Structure 1
Amino acid sequence: MTIPFELPDENRELSPFTGYTRAHWEAVADGLLGAAWRWATPGGAFLDLPGRPSASGVRSDGLEGYARTFLAAGFRVAGADGKDPHNWLERYAGGLTAGTRSPGRDDAESWPLILDHHVQGQPMVESASVALGLRLTRPWLWDRLDEDVQDRAEAWLRGAIDHTPAPNNWYLFPFTVASFLEEVGRGDAATARATDRALDLMETWYRGDGWYADGDGRAFDHYNGWALHLYPLLHAHLSGDTGLSARFGPRLREHLEGFSLLFGGDGAPIHFGRSLAYRFAASAAVGLGAVTGHTPLSPGASRRLISGSLRYFLERGALTDEGLLSLGWHGPHAATLQPYSGPASPYWASKGFVALLAPEGDPLWTAPEEPAPSEGPDRVLALPAPGLLVQSTQADGIVRLHNHGSDHVRPHEGEFAAQDDAHYGRQAYSTHTGPTSLTNVADNQLSVEVGGVASVRRRLHPLGAGHGDGWGWAASWYRPAFVSGPPMCPGLRVESVTVARGAHELRVHRVVGAPHGSRVTLTGWATEALRSELAGLHGWGPADRVRAPEGTAYEPWVRVPRLSARVEGTAVFAALALLGAAGSDADPDGAVAGTSLTDGELTVRWADGFETVVTFGESLTVRGG
């Protein structure tokens, strides 16, 4: 794809994998900012990018355009020690002046007020970007503003402190606002409360292995990197708070041990969770680790990851012909979006530019690129705290994420499912495939059909995870939910196990309490461009392939392999799934020599002599050797 603005020449000596240098990052930031500012209002308070409005409305979307691009400008200018060859900060100073003159008025420039999240909440999100942009550029923007403009800006920002955030990462938005106000000498008891409240919640949300839940439930996704790690550790770094750095830095380091494996050999981040239109913001945690020193990665490996992700999207249609980030993944893709997504939402991708805070002479930019973790030997890594299993294969550069712990179900919602959740409910995700749409057959899902009504997988209950030499496993159970309402089946539950070895995935399910006449189906990976296989090993009947005409974020039209069987009472099913490059020599039919089920214990004998034993009962166990 043609990139609609000029980039420097590639440097394959310094960056043999991507060709990108720090100059490329600066050029991309300038290109994105220049394209977005063509849509600014006369005073610069709104960037009204073209496209359908979000659920929050046009005014909120225009503020979003200002605030999220300000992040990119802030990292760009601060990382260059105030050098601003395109005078970006002059524009943002003008927009701040115009937007805060009479907030809440329905005129051409006035910003919307910040209210409670359920009333008019989106401006609270944007207030954090405005505050962080002002903090990053303080010597060159804030300190040069007239005092009355500073007073008006403070009054508008305080709306974030005075109102109620959503019960998740949103508490870091008033935290970021409070951090800025305290830095510029405008702190008080309210800013202290906002800071303490957020830091206290971070402790309750931390679950281990470097992962935070996004709220009180079990939502683990990219918000870990571009929000839950980013805001508190960046605050600690900018303020020189060694105590907070000592608390949050080691968590980021541990997070990156696993998360750094979730980028494919082509640079793609894992396609999992919500807000995927933020694209290369997924590399923000990697950049932050390099900037703060809290990373297990070498500088060359860090740059390989961040530049690989940036280049991946630029070369696959993420930009429109006008140079704007589109709503989608590669190009526009409606199924990737949430109702809160508007034309400027993708500019949270600006968080990826946090890497620019590493100055020009930093090893992040001067060390030769090194391979990404997924470009090394095949790996299987279990992350018990979030209930995730990561599987990467060097030959095709594909990374797969097997989900046995992240469900995005809020605590008060119980087991109810208003609809399937393609971003969390599927059993597996990858760097090379996306989930099918809600109106097509669901990929990577076991479904129990009762009376012709198919179930979905919603609230997950992890049963454990672990890994050994060249293999790993993760397990969970759930109550099948029926989006149409009844029938609800008392006692019906599904226990699921994934065992990963090489490119193969052993998928074992025990269905408990299925009523008479029930049917069970299992689907595999949705793709036409790659090889996707699903072979029944135990309990399954016929296999077929089902069309998904709406395609995925990667392909406009796909098919999904499927197995099916009748089920009543309790039954165990085992299958072998495969996702690989077209023409790969992996053989799912020949990978397993045989299976046996005895007294609730399933033994799978692999063709190379390895055995996997799954024992069901009061406590599920998985053994291998």
Structure 2
Amino acid sequence: MERRNFIKIAPLAGLAGVITPGRVLSGTSSPLPTATSLMEHDRQYWTQLLVRICSPVIENMSRGTLKKNLPLELGKGYGLDVKQVTYLEAFGRTISGMAPWLALPDDVTAEGRTRKRLREQVLQGIVNGVDPGSPDYLNFRTEAQPLVDAAFLCHAFLRAPDALWHPLDHVTKERVIKELRELRRIKPGYNNWLLFAAIIETFFLFINEDWEPMRTMVAIQKMKEWYAGDGWYSDGAQFSMDYYNGYVIHPMLTDILKVLMDKGKGTKADYEQAIRRMQRFAALQERMIAPDGTYPALGRSMTYRTAAFQPLVQLALQHQLPEELSPAQVRCALTAVMKRVYEMKGTFDGKGWLQLGICGHQPEVADTYTSTGSLYLCTSGFLALGLPPEDPFWSAPPEEWTAQKLWSGKPIRKDYHVSY
């Protein structure tokens, strides 16, 4: 049923801002979708697509069959022990993007019933992931990579504590905490990895467990030092032109600073400065989305697909978009991106798992650390589903995004660098 619904709505999704509601297709007597129907289809499209992406991971994890069924497609020259890392990658990354949507209250709609089912499966998956007797017991104790994906797991808990943390039984919570503490053995890389160690300690602080402030302090201080200007952070001492500001740096840094501020361990000034920088980066991201929904394919980890736009959707979720961006134009732009990325043949295999690539199956673009599990960070591009249907992000009439206006000769807002 879900697959049939997905296919049925796909041709309509992403048309917002491209067509004029009420006009009639040449040679037909059927009117095009109205603005209202397009808005409804945008949310349906995002929801059905997220469900399509997540279901193989979540359903298998809840049944204890993820290790049995997850394909092991690897980037050329893959250098990790894939069976020790890819399963936590798949699960932690998947639920990090799903979390705000899973946090919405239950309702009797088709979306609400699906969301409730997946939430229950995620909770069972967490139980299985830290149960030493489960076939899907996840590895936190060997290799360095688990630091990364445990951080995404903690990000999910921070984004939806009432949905994903508080309902867990006491034994499971203690097991999660024990596994996370094992990760203190890992010395993080001198780059965005500092944030992985920091967000795990931030989660400990959030749940009132003993935490190591130094691992957060170092990460925050280095990010301040590595700020390159105009919304961009350097990923380490040397600047890399890629999307790690989207995949990791802006979302994790701002969420760490928010928890520290709320707990009286950090300053409002630091948090607000990080948000302003994130807003500038998001404004640039929106300008990168071409009229046809394409965007520059550059840098490392491009197989993470829509995770590149995580700052844009996180700010939309938090009602903190920069003033020059309306929620509707962001919705329309990202819907167009999703259509370009996920509707290309080969993006999914015959059993519904994601395959290596950016737009379709393109294993040649995968990195030496990329496996099938790595790809599920793409769910971070769906954070705005945590907004209810009546929120302006979903309910406002369709709007063209900046590149659509620009390349059709319409007025646009002038761009200029910022100095904060």
TM-score, normalisation: structure 1: 0.54
Please give the secondary structure, in 2, of the residue aligned with 1:128.
Answer: helix
**Equivalent position amino acid for 1:374 in 2:** A
Instruction: Find the counterpart in structure 1 of residue 29 from structure 2.
Output: none
CA–CA separation in structure 2 for the residues paired with 1:197 and 1:4: 46
Instruction: Find the counterpart in structure 2 of residue 220 from structure 1.
Output: 241
CA offset at residue 64 of structure 1?
1.5
Please give the secondary structure, in 2, of the residue aligned with 1:109.
Answer: coil
CA–CA separation in structure 2 for the residues paired with 1:202 and 1:274: 19
Which runs of structure 2 are paired with 1:523-542 in the superposition (5 Å)? none
CA offset at residue 13 of structure 1?
11
In structure 2, the CA distance between the partners of 1:134 and 1:93, relative to structure 1 (3 Å rule), is same
CA–CA separation in structure 1 for the residues paired with 2:372 and 2:171: 32
In structure 2, the CA distance between the partners of 1:161 and 1:371, relative to structure 1 (3 Å rule), is farther
Please give the secondary structure, in 2, of the residue aligned with 1:285.
Answer: helix
Identity %: 23
Indicate which of 59, 63, 83 corresponds to 2:84.
Answer: 59
CA–CA separation in structure 2 for the residues paired with 1:51 and 1:43: 17
In structure 2, the CA distance between the partners of 1:140 and 1:220, relative to structure 1 (3 Å rule), is same
CA offset at residue 236 of structure 1?
4.8
Gaps of 5+ in 1: 378-392, 396-468, 471-625
Instruction: Find the counterpart in structure 2 of residue 197 from structure 1.
Output: 218
1:340 corresponds to 2:369: yes
Instruction: Find the counterpart in structure 2 of residue 271 from structure 1.
Output: 297
Contact 2:226 2:233 in 1 (8 A): yes
**Equivalent position amino acid for 1:171 in 2:** L
Contact 1:82 1:140 in 2 (8 A): no
Which runs of structure 2 are paired with 1:127-276 in the superposition (5 Å)? 127-188=150-211, 190=212, 192-236=213-257, 241=262, 242-276=268-302
In structure 2, the CA distance between the partners of 1:40 and 1:144, relative to structure 1 (3 Å rule), is closer
CA–CA separation in structure 1 for the residues paired with 2:14 and 2:242: 35
CA–CA separation in structure 2 for the residues paired with 1:12 and 1:146: 40
CA offset at residue 360 of structure 1?
2.3
Higher strand proportion = 1
CA–CA separation in structure 1 for the residues paired with 2:102 and 2:137: 26
CA offset at residue 39 of structure 1?
4.4
**Aligned residue pairs, count:** 370
Gaps of 5+ in 2: 20-37, 263-267, 416-420
CA offset at residue 82 of structure 1?
5.5
Indicate which of 390, 395, 418 corresponds to 1:366.
Answer: 395
1:289 corresponds to 2:290: no
**Equivalent position amino acid for 2:307 in 1:** A
**Equivalent position amino acid for 1:355 in 2:** A
Indicate which of 75, 88, 91 corresponds to 2:100.
Answer: 75
CA offset at residue 148 of structure 1?
2.3
Instruction: Find the counterpart in structure 1 of residue 146 from structure 2.
Output: 123
**Equivalent position amino acid for 1:258 in 2:** L
In structure 2, the CA distance between the partners of 1:163 and 1:270, relative to structure 1 (3 Å rule), is same
Higher normalized contact order (CA 8 Å, seq sep 6+, divided by chain length): 2
Please give the secondary structure, in 2, of the residue aligned with 1:21.
Answer: helix
CA–CA separation in structure 2 for the residues paired with 1:312 and 1:212: 28
Please give the secondary structure, in 1, of the residue aligned with 2:291.
Answer: coil
In structure 2, the CA distance between the partners of 1:47 and 1:225, relative to structure 1 (3 Å rule), is farther
CA–CA separation in structure 2 for the residues paired with 1:168 and 1:181: 22
Indicate which of 328, 346, 358 corresponds to 2:357.
Answer: 328
Q: Deviations over 1:445-482 (max 9, x none)?
A: xxxxxxxxxxxxxxxxxxxxxxxx99xxxxxxxxxxxx
Please give the secondary structure, in 2, of the residue aligned with 1:261.
Answer: helix
CA–CA separation in structure 1 for the residues paired with 2:336 and 2:314: 16
Contact 1:15 1:369 in 2 (8 A): yes
Instruction: Find the counterpart in structure 2 of residue 88 from structure 1.
Output: 118
Contact 2:329 2:401 in 1 (8 A): yes
Please give the secondary structure, in 2, of the residue aligned with 1:166.
Answer: coil
CA–CA separation in structure 2 for the residues paired with 1:327 and 1:181: 34
Contact 2:202 2:259 in 1 (8 A): no
Contact 1:63 1:111 in 2 (8 A): yes
In structure 2, the CA distance between the partners of 1:56 and 1:272, relative to structure 1 (3 Å rule), is same
Contact 1:47 1:62 in 2 (8 A): no
Please give the secondary structure, in 2, of the residue aligned with 1:144.
Answer: coil
**Equivalent position amino acid for 1:70 in 2:** I
CA–CA separation in structure 1 for the residues paired with 2:155 and 2:66: 17
Higher helix proportion = 2
- Of the two, which has the highest radius of gyration? 1
CA offset at residue 150 of structure 1?
1.0
Instruction: Find the counterpart in structure 1 of residue 23 from structure 2.
Output: none
Instruction: Find the counterpart in structure 1 of residue 341 from structure 2.
Output: 313
CA offset at residue 38 of structure 1?
5.3
Please give the secondary structure, in 2, of the residue aligned with 1:340.
Answer: coil
CA offset at residue 273 of structure 1?
0.6
CA–CA separation in structure 2 for the residues paired with 1:305 and 1:139: 31
In structure 2, the CA distance between the partners of 1:159 and 1:5, relative to structure 1 (3 Å rule), is farther
Contact 1:226 1:282 in 2 (8 A): yes
**Equivalent position amino acid for 1:133 in 2:** A
TM-score, normalisation: structure 2: 0.79
The two structures, once aligned, show a CA RMSD in angstroms of: 2.9
CA–CA separation in structure 1 for the residues paired with 2:66 and 2:196: 20
**Equivalent position amino acid for 1:282 in 2:** A
Q: Deviations over 1:268-311 (max 9, x none)?
A: 22110111111111221211222231423111221122211111
